Structure 1
Amino acid sequence: MKDIMKKIMIKISLAAGALAVMAGCQDNLWDEHYGLDGTVETRNLMQVLESMPEYSEFCSVVKRAGLDSVLATDQTFTVWVPDNEAMAGYTVNAETKSQFLENHISRYLYGGVDLADTSSVRVKMLNGKSQDYARENGNYTFAGVPVKAEEIPAGNGLVHGLSRIAPFYYNLYENICQEGNGTDSLAAFLTSFDEYTFNEEKSTAIGKNALGQIVYDSIFDFNNDWLRRYGHLHSEDSVYTMIVPSDEGWKKSRGRMAEYFRTFGETLKDTVKSLIIPDREYAVSTALSDSLSEAWMKQAICMDLVFRKDVDFSSVPGDSLASTSGNVFHHPSYLLAGAVEEPVSNGRIWKTDDLLHKPEESWLKTIVVEAENTSGRESNYAVISSRSSSATLFRDSVSEQRFIEVTATSENPRQQPIVQFTVPNTLAARYNVYCVFAPACAYMEGVEADSTKVNFYLNYVHEDGRMYEDEVIVGETPTNGSTMTKMFVTQIKLPYANYSESPFSGPETQDNDCVKLRVQANVARNETTKYTRTMRIDCLIFEPVIE
């Protein structure tokens, strides 16, 4: 973890160093910008600072870090200088340049004129951090520290005196990765996605080694797929609010969620019993099953920790708040109960020993399978047509305004139409299962109403690792020929998770179609004058039972 932090800080220091020596000038003349009268100051910032004994301690640290030559260039800077009293007790360390000096020096000019029409401006420092320069009731502050009244001009910038050292804050990612911060479990998961790629184009060749190979002053590009998907926590230009579990909070979440992500492993047998009905067998309690369970559970713990911007959870529009995963939390202030706020440079951290996300709003959500989606759908003895409800009174009743019409290809009662759906992303949880049917008038108004009877067959991996269908489930009632029918199928406790759509794929995988619901018309030969064998299916619903 320490090496990772060094790499991050090295990259920040390199970027800041490059920024400090870049050529550039401001469009406006310094004296015009600040409207100062009298003799124009020709001494550079370093010379001005050295002439002021009250800032001698700061000057000494600047020289030791080698930044005196930077402040003596013709580049423009604003220096926010702690006086000697503020510097009392300060000890130079390995992080002095990036966390102290470059945290008090900014490119370009910042003075009272910048706050003439606003109460605060964000100032980008040489270390890449941003600090607030603010005005309130005629008084000025920098990073919350009072600024002395006098603005001290130099030929290449401006000096502001401070009565205290401005605080340095890690960004979200740096904070989480700090050793001894009590967040090692989360840090280990997030940094497992870190990748550093050598950038030859940006690197500088500085010679050859004994083998004649080119040696570079190397630049590496940083990438992290988790950060790219859920939030650039390492970026000083992005602002997020993040709920951060302590190691204790991580442990509690694992204990609470482990049973839901229990899964199976390798395929031992894969056959088809008849028609489209799979008959398989899987290994249980193997290294693969343990690895998949662990990966899915960690992903679920972390997927709803990050929220865009600096958010007040107690006052959000509509009293609902979406995490960067897209999941929506209602009355979200409950998420912060018992959490402790920690300042960071690019947002806000709420550290907690208890992640309080409601499962049904986060990782145990209702699963809806749209019948019109062909992926994972199979059929037999049937012709399937996609229908739209957009031009009928059912436009708001039919999910996604589309459903399928399943018609028979034979009058043989032993060959009644069948359609089978794969149900993705199921957990080892209890579900209420529903099948929603639409009437004929949902796509063509004025047609004669009809009704059908159906049977259901649920196929999943059982406790012994075998995947097979349970006994037939007879539809509780015929469908309604004039209105939508949400038919209860069964309540089922699935023994294993089949979490098939994790956003991060790895080398370890399993079959992703291990929960299936088969729907078949069930109209006897002597019932065809009363019922039709045509089924109009809108969607399947697997609704978790929160226990």
Structure 2
Amino acid sequence: MINKNHIIIILFLMAIGVMFSCTKKDWEEYYNDYDEQVDRNLWEVVKEEPRYTRFVEYFEEYELDSLFESGLSFTLFIPDNDAMELISDTSGSIDKILSNHISRTVFLTRNLETTRKLETLLGKFAVVSRTSNGYSFEDQAIEYSSPLYLNGKIYEISEIAYPKPNLYEFTQLFSSVISAYIDLNDSAYLDKSLSDPIGFDDQGNTIYDSVVSVVNLFERDFFPVSQEFRDKSATFILFTQDQYDAALDVMAGSLGSGYISHEDIPEKWQFEILLPDIMEKSLFDDRLEYHQLQVDMVSATGDSVVIDPTNIDPDSKYVCSNGLVYTYYDFEVEKDLFQGETRIEGEELIDSIGAGVFAWKEDVVASGLTVAPDKQYAAQASEGMLVNVQFQRNYSGKYSLEFSFKNIFPMRYRLEWRASYRPSGVFSLYINDTDLGSYDTYNLRSSVISVTGERFIPEEGFNIKDWWVENITDFGDVIIRIEYLASGLGSNNGLNIDYISLIPDLEE
């Protein structure tokens, strides 16, 4: 008779048997999944395979077969002869295409869970993926996996895996003005990390043997679009070169006389005004799918920007090696960039050189009385700040200040000078050496009649004086000069600027 204890022992032994049989099966499957190893040279095997003769011919033509003399191991992704017959030199050179099929590592698909980026000999990171039907290399199906040879492994792929352009290479192909703009941002600097100190100058400053390095300011400030990364990417929203040229054609028509097509728009304006403005709203961190593009975005520089997702073509998405590209349905130049107000805030004319100590910027010229500018804070100022130069009371000497508006198109303008009536003086204002007239800024304490007939009302001591400007006949920089003439009605003398603006007269 079998008692309860016998039953428990029998059930326990049966459970152990089941566990052992399952464990044995799992381990057998695990070990069987390992690649077969063959003691042969990888390249010798490739050369002997009839399906790979075209691949071998190209390899030997471009002397890539010398790689296998290095003693290193490689993984080759090889299209068969039929696929190689269709090779086209779309990436600049055949050797670059071939280099995209080589990795300086032994890659085993059994270690792959979903996707992995594999660095190729070209320096790009190719994507190897597990699919529902097996595996793929750069979206090309892997149709055969070789044994593991002495110095590497072979995967046969269905088609040629052309190298994807990076974001910079994409602009070279489809929007050359952007690649030219990026190139122009190269900047040389003294690289102290590579330079050795060799002595001191008379002021005690260290002298270096001057190793100069180059940094691209665009790639530093936005994203390194020409570099390849395993886990870093960006999204670039671009226009095509045709869209860009067409937009400049429309702009030229708006400018009128002397401007007929995109060829008439100065490159200086494009590279210093237009393209910096566009780039601030075009580059974003990470690979963003279309549904992730919103009206309010944070750009790659960390700034908050506004875009129009409805003007971005979702079907234009192109996968680059280091990011995604979208293009616009329509592209146009914002009129405010060339027909809007150009304003210089007073505080933009100075730099801080110490705690509470300021100096004019290098391109600002002050003459006459030697006196340092000061930055003052005032709630009534346009940006809460203004620049002030204080003279002696009842000052009768000379003083002038000269600076310029950059990249101004020829047309009629109205110039506005906003300031406080304290301190004050009688000043003449010149545009490109043409005297617009004199004005006692003490009168800003009262209402001022504009050249348009409008009345400017004072705001706690601040007001506006304006003039017509009709001597800007060519594109370029517009020089402003303010000259002090006399003390005027007020004895508290000095020059202050909240802002000075050039406003196009579009009703002319």
TM-score (norm 1): 0.57
Which residue number in structure 1 is paired with residue 434 of structure 2? 468
- The one of 83, 95, 108 equivalent to 1:111 is 108
* Structure 1 Cα separation of the partners of residues 248 and 90 of structure 2: 38
Q: Which runs of structure 2 are paired with 1:272-287 in the superposition (5 Å)?
A: none
Greater relative CO (CA pairs within 8 A, separation 6+): 1
Q: Which runs of structure 2 are paired with 1:161-172 in the superposition (5 Å)?
A: 161-172=156-167
* Structure 1 Cα separation of the partners of residues 156 and 65 of structure 2: 18
Contact 1:383–1:406 (CA under 8 A) maintained in structure 2: yes
Which residue number in structure 1 is paired with residue 125 of structure 2? 130
Q: Aligned-pair distance for 1:406?
A: 2.3
Which residue number in structure 2 is paired with residue 478 of structure 1? 445
- The one of 371, 386, 400 equivalent to 2:374 is 386
* Structure 2 Cα separation of the partners of residues 192 and 333 of structure 1: 29
Contact 1:103–1:126 (CA under 8 A) maintained in structure 2: yes
CA pair 50-378 structure 1, distance change in 2 beyond 3 A: closer
* Structure 2 Cα separation of the partners of residues 423 and 93 of structure 1: 48
Quick one: which amino acid aligns to residue 67 of structure 2? V
**Secondary structure of residue in 1 paired with 2:472:** coil
- The one of 391, 395, 403 equivalent to 2:387 is 403
Describe the superposition over 1:239-278 as per-residue Cα deviations: whole angstroms up to 9, x where unpaired: 6626244246325416625987999xxxxxxxxxxxxxxx
**Secondary structure of residue in 2 paired with 1:425:** strand
* Structure 2 Cα separation of the partners of residues 35 and 367 of structure 1: 74
**Secondary structure of residue in 1 paired with 2:406:** coil
Contact 1:418–1:521 (CA under 8 A) maintained in structure 2: no
CA pair 491-135 structure 1, distance change in 2 beyond 3 A: farther
* Structure 1 Cα separation of the partners of residues 502 and 408 of structure 2: 11
Q: Which runs of structure 2 are paired with 1:58-137 in the superposition (5 Å)?
A: 58-71=55-68, 73-84=70-81, 86-87=83-84, 89-90=86-87, 97-112=94-109, 115-116=112-113, 119-135=114-130
Q: Which runs of structure 2 are paired with 1:480-499 in the superposition (5 Å)?
A: 483=460, 485=462, 487=464, 489-490=466-467, 492=469, 495-496=472-473, 499=476
Q: Aligned-pair distance for 1:43?
A: 1.7
Gaps of 5+ in 1: 1-33, 196-220, 264-284, 439-449, 462-466, 501-512
Q: Which runs of structure 2 are paired with 1:39-50 in the superposition (5 Å)?
A: 40-50=37-47
Contact 2:128–2:138 (CA under 8 A) maintained in structure 1: yes
* Structure 2 Cα separation of the partners of residues 409 and 40 of structure 1: 96
Describe the superposition over 1:151-186 as per-residue Cα deviations: whole angstroms up to 9, x where unpaired: 6422222222322221333445555555xx6x6777
Quick one: which amino acid aligns to residue 358 of structure 1? E
Which residue number in structure 2 is paired with residue 540 of structure 1? 499
**Secondary structure of residue in 1 paired with 2:498:** strand
TM-score (norm 2): 0.61
* Structure 2 Cα separation of the partners of residues 386 and 113 of structure 1: 69
Quick one: which amino acid aligns to residue 445 of structure 2? P
* Structure 2 Cα separation of the partners of residues 111 and 153 of structure 1: 9
Q: Aligned-pair distance for 1:334?
A: 6.8
Contact 2:33–2:110 (CA under 8 A) maintained in structure 1: no
* Structure 2 Cα separation of the partners of residues 379 and 64 of structure 1: 70
* Structure 2 Cα separation of the partners of residues 315 and 519 of structure 1: 56
Identity score, percent: 15
CA pair 164-454 structure 1, distance change in 2 beyond 3 A: same
* Structure 2 Cα separation of the partners of residues 378 and 262 of structure 1: 36
CA pair 39-129 structure 1, distance change in 2 beyond 3 A: closer
Shifted more, 105-114 versus 58-67: the winner is 58-67
Quick one: which amino acid aligns to residue 332 of structure 2? L
* Structure 2 Cα separation of the partners of residues 228 and 427 of structure 1: 28
CA pair 321-419 structure 1, distance change in 2 beyond 3 A: farther
* Structure 1 Cα separation of the partners of residues 303 and 257 of structure 2: 23
RMSD: 5.3
Which residue number in structure 2 is paired with residue 146 of structure 1? 141
Quick one: which amino acid aligns to residue 437 of structure 2? E
Contact 1:458–1:518 (CA under 8 A) maintained in structure 2: yes
**Secondary structure of residue in 1 paired with 2:374:** strand
1:319 aligns with 2:316: no
CA pair 156-323 structure 1, distance change in 2 beyond 3 A: same
Quick one: which amino acid aligns to residue 132 of structure 1? V
- The one of 147, 151, 155 equivalent to 1:156 is 151
Which residue number in structure 1 is paired with residue 403 of structure 2? 422
Contact 2:76–2:101 (CA under 8 A) maintained in structure 1: yes
Q: How many residues align?
A: 417
Quick one: which amino acid aligns to residue 479 of structure 2? C
Q: Aligned-pair distance for 1:124?
A: 2.3
Q: Which runs of structure 2 are paired with 1:496-511 in the superposition (5 Å)?
A: 496=473, 499=476
Contact 2:247–2:333 (CA under 8 A) maintained in structure 1: no
Q: Which runs of structure 2 are paired with 1:334-373 in the superposition (5 Å)?
A: 336=312, 340-350=316-326, 355-360=331-336, 366-371=342-347, 373=350
Q: Aligned-pair distance for 1:319?
A: 1.6
CA pair 95-337 structure 1, distance change in 2 beyond 3 A: closer
Q: Aligned-pair distance for 1:427?
A: 0.7
**Secondary structure of residue in 1 paired with 2:408:** coil
* Structure 2 Cα separation of the partners of residues 261 and 159 of structure 1: 64
CA pair 426-456 structure 1, distance change in 2 beyond 3 A: farther
CA pair 430-308 structure 1, distance change in 2 beyond 3 A: farther
Q: Aligned-pair distance for 1:78?
A: 1.6
Shifted more, 162-171 versus 52-61: the winner is 52-61
Q: Aligned-pair distance for 1:106?
A: 1.4
* Structure 2 Cα separation of the partners of residues 481 and 92 of structure 1: 69
Q: Aligned-pair distance for 1:478?
A: 0.8
Describe the superposition over 1:269-316 as per-residue Cα deviations: whole angstroms up to 9, x where unpaired: xxxxxxxxxxxxxxxx9xxxx999454446545444563655648746
* Structure 1 Cα separation of the partners of residues 472 and 315 of structure 2: 34
Which residue number in structure 1 is paired with residue 430 of structure 2? 459
